Structure 1
């Protein structure tokens, strides 16, 4: 490692970790079998983690373990116990999403480095500044973060980590509820079902189809390649390659490719081989200005391999194929049939570049269609051989003194690490046959099964006698002592303590209304409301004029993503308009908007009482908990906190925030109209462009008929969200008001509405 950067590789299993280390990684990140956001990866058991840390540290490679899922109350203490285990085995840092767990670690293990996961959606200077203040040593920035913002963040002391290669999420990480709202599988819990890799068609504001079906939410893979130097120049220290789900050969080749780039070697062949291993086409990323067709893999969401040839014509036995690359037996080839469906075969033949081959098959293949190679058997064999041949043991020097009348003393040295040991007994002179000098050196040199290779032995000795078994024991003890020095295991410094949190005054229960346009306030009986939340276009003088006689609290709702310039603009606007109350939806906003009375929005993903108490003690007296929480989880939190909890009881929930606009793929101009993405089951998800593109649930949440049950969970603020012109805010407020008093019976129509997660929770 040069000191200017760190090349950080993924490891979903031990073979991938070994591949990364042998390819030259400076650090690896991985997940254990517990609390990891990549639950589909093989991941590491506790025994495997112990071995992984030893293997890496003995090769001067750091290990970061991801605990980057949201934790429910029942899991937090178990997660901390797991953290203690990771601390003891010498893990270098943790990648964390949950603020409650982070606070607990800061209090009890203050020297354990914490990296803020990209799941925290930190994208700005103010976000990184807050992380630095609360004790994080590194921020993993949102993939969308532009170079100009990175340059500002680099002025802080916190380290910057950024992705340079691999799969992309279309939504800001941590801000996607689409998978959980469709099927209950939460990306925030490591169970994302990848709704972004499905086909959709686009409907206009009148719900007329204006496109063919395509993968409108499926981005290409990030590939910065030589432009990685722009990130380093901007201040990025840790260069992260995505891929905990990828196989070892991919991990090895990705590391090798970027090592060659960073060290100034020709990487053209490496890039070709990495492309063969996995690609959806590459994008330089949103931060570099790619968008629309340059950013999206809208024709296919999966690995596309490389072009291999073309089907020329049908023959009596099958088809004549002209190949543009060499084909080996066992290559995974993809064909297109006469109905435009793909199928794959493992090549039972070999063919030379620019040759033709008659392929015998009974399948109907489309004439003039492209043949693609998804896997090269020769490349896999080549990489496996390289990994196998690479030696990665540490150099070892031994200095030994075997002098009569003294204890045997030995120094084992590897790099800057040293370990000293002595024999238990004083050495005696030999009465008959002394142990020969050559024999001592021979036995000390038997390090073959250890993690070291011997460079030299310096020996000072007299004519002494020592049993060979004692000599071997000294060697084993010395190697073990040196290994322990390098691996850096630790002991828990003190008994666990739980922090005492401040109590917050409880508000009387009440209704809250959120609107995104002033016109949605029309005819609303404001006397029935405790709070009004103004979002996007509704943050205006017109709205405030309409609400001038409102006795409750008026909040401006901040969007979950702002960059520094945008933050400054919205801050000035709110001050000019005279707002006193603000809902924040990103951790970075707590510092920038600290002079306002704050409400914690649901985009902050508060999922347990520890995180809630952290917020109550430091920033706010009211919280909208994560919309992924069920009623029982809310009730558990309510018993352990002193503060005010809010829940959406009506409204379309935002399930994605993204820089990408699907309309760009149709080359339509961005406008303020509502469009829809229709999935394969007919569900229609509205999306609109505010500061960024926001996608909403296909059906509104409807809990108005069970408000008193929701109240029994501990909720005392009930929010109605109105963002679309077909919704009648006045009617909804009247219905909710009567429901709270128990004066009306409402009918829940499952064809029109959804319960969200209030009953079913998430996986």
Structure 2
């Protein structure tokens, strides 16, 4: 059976130690720049060096995240940063930006590249593209099903799959909600987690508008992924790397989750039983959970997938408030509670959380109380009778988990050959299973024993005293002349020095990597595009565009099949075969076949090298990212012409409701039916929108594959930018109609044509 990899998060040096000591095969972490977790502790250069050397000694690989979109002015500094990572001997880097990837592959040809889940590689064509570009691994979206994993595993690319931790409600790399509503870009590692905020669902039909009351308020907040009981299925499906999410989590979380998945993987590989017992599940819940789900991998939907009750750690329920006085709150426990534990009380008005400092039973202070006990707490918080009490941290559990990486040790298997021949220097050779080798000789030559010769048993005994190193000697071969001796302290010195040499050798894994110059290919000149490019979702929108004389009108395939007019706009999630005709693509896999196409905004073009990448693959025009300002777009055009000695067809998006999220989860089905089946048809009978606590209304579009598209509250209108954009050579402008009626379309097009 093929070996698989357990990949753990490391948000700090302590978390790295927790991962390594609990059995991780590899860790992923971020530096101070360009990572998708800007608010994690992350590693500076000195810490990165320490982390890599520490992990490498134990044979653990280190992957560094450079998985954000790279702005124009950052390209050179980012390339230099990756060069520094190569010098520090990291094993691989995770990338999102295709322009950066193109440059990295040239400059650092031996550096292992992984396609981050932020790159939105979700189909066969995308994986084939990554393989062609020299990537060694693809991190699949969390939305990938077990059936798709089986198919993708046949393509000869290592697949990395999230198996534990937080889920995003939107496809990664395709979420703009935080960026466009709160100016914190998820594509820059600054996500404000809009999905963990409160929303209500509004429905408008022939009977009017009503707000649908779900069970709770956090309609976009998923549970945490937990596939521990499915490890065998995932191994059989072809998953190579089992990824635990959690660079923002505490080291104890990393320790527990790594240990759990290590045991499950090892048991399956050894064909031994492994059970996720109720006790083990509770340990996982205590350290962190929002409720657990097997996720999209195993087709969970609705209430099986989401936790609308609360968006944060739920711990375990340990009791309820039964009464309270002016000074005390009485709680009837259903599970143990100790001083030092953290609890949260769920109130209708407002939750409150704190650490237990004083715990009373029958008026006396106690350190611990068992299930069934009526305990009292000092009333320093708002209390309601019947409120649920959760334990959100267990002090004993945390101490035990700290011991798992501070007191326990992980050893590396090594083997020794010891030679002791009369009149020669004794020689100790040690080697490991990775091919590293070290030799140490005695200072003095071996002498004949005057009294008692040194026995082989004593030599083995001294050599096996290796617990002060990272090694455990699993085999010792001796060649010893009879009637000879050597001081015991000399054997000890030889052992220490040889093993220290071996440990130091293990720190450096890639001594022969190259750095080369970058040669940018000259781009071809291309015929100009139509000045206005439109995307429509309805027949009347198409008619408005056609009557206005718009030559390039794109639409989804189902509308195109009805009208037999215009061009096809490929979905942002594309699992079907690509048409051979000229299309607009919305994801990277669409560029694999190098057929003529246009790039939509979701291809995340935010620097001139990413534009060049798509032009090289056959793009007749590329849309700027919706996150790019006009000034950034102008700089991209200028830089492209300077670097590639050609003009490109750049398309500036000027009108339309931006798609803020793209999700396999459907809030409409979840609230109205909570069905485990798709194609409920509700979205075709009414108009729906999500409404936030400030009253902002976000319309919902659902496509034929039951994916939910959350639109911005107000349409983007950058028509006033056209004059300035044209001055730098931008000659095409994108207009996207979603919810507009024909009259609204006509008004927008008239203003647009007046500027163009």
TM-score (norm 2): 0.86
Q: Could you tell me which of 642, 663, 666 is aligned with 2:668?
A: 663
Shift of 1:114: 1.6
Measure the CA separation in 1 of the matches of 2:85 and 2:454: 44
The correspondence for 2:402, drawn from 376, 384, 390, is 384
Counterpart in 1 of 2:117? 118
Quote the residue 1:55 is aligned against: 54
Match of 1:133 in 2: 132
Aligned match of 1:65: 64
Cα distance change on mapping 1:730 and 1:536 into 2, 3 Å: farther
In the alignment, what sits opposite 2:702? 689
User: How far apart, CA to CA, are the structure 2 residues paired with 1:72 and 1:530?
Assistant: 32
Which residue does the alignment assign to 2:518?
497
Contact kept, 8 Å, 1:32 with 1:43, in 2: the verdict is yes
1:330 is matched with 340
C-alpha deviation, 1:107, in angstroms: 2.2
Question: Secondary structure of the equivalent of 1:615?
Answer: helix
Provide, for residues 258-286 of structure 1, a one-character-per-residue CA deviation record: whole Å limited to 9, x for no partner: 23333133442322101111111111112
Query: RMSD over aligned Cα, in angstroms?
Result: 3.3
- The equivalent residue for 1:254 is 257
Q: Is the contact made by 2:429 and 2:498 (CA closer than 8 Å) also made in structure 1?
A: no
Distance 1:301 1:125, change over 3 A: same
Partners of 2:446 and 2:396 lie apart in 1 by 62
**Which whole-Å CA distance do the structure 2 matches of 1:523 and 1:465 have between them?**
96
Q: Does structure 2 conserve the Cα–Cα contact (< 8 Å) formed by 1:221 and 1:282?
A: yes
Q: Contact 1:518 / 1:543 at 8 angstroms: preserved in 2?
A: no
Cα shift readout 1:427-451 (whole Å, capped 9, x = no counterpart): 7899xx9xx9899999999977654
SS of the residue aligned with 2:430? strand
Counterpart contact for 1:179–1:192, Cα < 8 Å: yes
Say which of 505, 517, 523 aligns to 1:484: 505
Report the Cα distance in structure 2 between the residues aligned to 1:608 and 1:422, rounded to whole angstroms: 54
Structure 2 residue aligned with 1:510: 531
Task: Find the counterpart in structure 2 of residue 534 from structure 1.
Answer: 555
Rounded to whole Å, the distance in 1 between the matches of 2:529 and 2:495 is: 73
**Contact 2:323-2:329 at 8 Å conserved across structures:** yes
Unmatched 5+ stretches in structure 2: 268-272, 360-367, 641-645, 674-679
> Judging changes above 3 Å, is the alpha-carbon distance between structure 1 residues 276 and 471 closer, same or farther for their aligned structure 2 residues?
closer
2:658/2:716 contact within 8 Å kept: yes
Matches within 5 A, 1:310-709: 310-315=320-325, 317-337=327-347, 340-347=349-356, 348-349=358-359, 350-361=368-379, 363-399=381-417, 410-421=428-439, 450-452=469-471, 476=497, 479-480=500-501, 483-485=504-506, 487-505=508-526, 507=528, 510-524=531-545, 528-535=549-556, 537-542=558-563, 544=565, 554-563=566-575, 567-568=576-577, 571=578, 580-591=581-592, 594-595=594-595, 597-641=596-640, 642=646, 643-668=648-673, 669=680, 670-672=682-684, 673-690=686-703, 691=705, 692-709=707-724
Alpha-carbon contact 2:164-2:244 (below 8 Å) kept? yes
Q: How many correspondences in the alignment?
A: 713
**1:125-204 correspondence to structure 2 within 5 Å:** 125-204=124-203
8 Å Cα contact 1:223-1:284 kept in structure 2: yes
Structure-1 separation of matches of 2:209 and 2:439: 79
What is the CA–CA distance in structure 2 between the aligned matches of 1:441 and 1:41, rounded to whole Å?
47
Aligned match of 1:718: 733
Pairs within 5 Å for 1:232-271:
232-262=235-265, 263=267, 264-268=273-277, 269-271=279-281
Q: Which residue number corresponds to residue 753 of structure 2?
A: 737
How far 1:233 sits from its partner (Å)? 1.9
How far, CA to CA, are the matches of 1:420 and 1:345 in structure 2? 53
Q: Quote the Cα distance in structure 1 between the aligned partners of 2:698 and 2:334.
A: 43
Which is further off, 177-186 or 554-563? 554-563
Distance 1:148 1:362 in 2: 52
Report SS of the residue matched to 2:754: helix
The CA distance in 2 between the partners of 1:22 and 1:458, in whole Å, is 32
Counterpart residue number, 2:362: none
CA shift in 2, pair 1:177/1:364, >3 Å: closer
The answer to whether residue 229 in structure 2 is matched with residue 219 in structure 1 is no
Alpha-carbon separation, structure 2, partners of 1:637 and 1:530: 26
Instruction: Give the aligned partner of residue 288 of structure 2.
Output: 278
C-alpha displacement of 1:665: 2.7
Deviations 1:521-545 (CA, angstroms, capped at 9, x unpaired)? 334465653522223653234261x
| Secondary structure of 1:728's aligned partner | helix
Contact 1:151 1:235 survives alignment (8 Å): yes
Q: 1:340, 1:464 → 2: CA distance?
A: 80
CA contact (8 A) 1:505 1:621 kept: yes
The corresponding residue for 1:87 is 86
Contact kept in structure 2, 1:650 and 1:702, CA below 8 Å: yes
CA distance in 1, matches of 2:465, 2:240: 40
Cα deviation, 1:384-436, whole Å, max 9, x if unaligned, reads 1232221124355554557798787552323343424577x997899xx9xx9
Question: CA deviation digits over 1:108-152, x for unaligned, max 9?
Answer: 333322221111112222222222222222111111111221121
Change in Cα spacing, 1:107 to 1:367, as seen in structure 2 (3 Å) is: same
After the TM superposition, which of the residue ranges 375-384 and 120-129 deviates more from structure 2? 120-129
How far the C-alpha of 1:219 sits from its partner, in A, is: 0.7
C-alpha separation in 2, matches of 1:427 and 1:312? 79
Change (3 A) 1:100 1:330: same
Select 1:298's aligned residue among 308, 326, 332.
308
More displaced, 137-146 or 188-197? 137-146
Distance across 1 between alignment mates of 2:571 and 2:223: 26
Cα deviation, residue 302, structure 1: 0.6
CA shift for structure 1 position 74: 2.2
How far apart, CA to CA, are the structure 1 residues paired with 2:444 and 2:327? Answer: 85
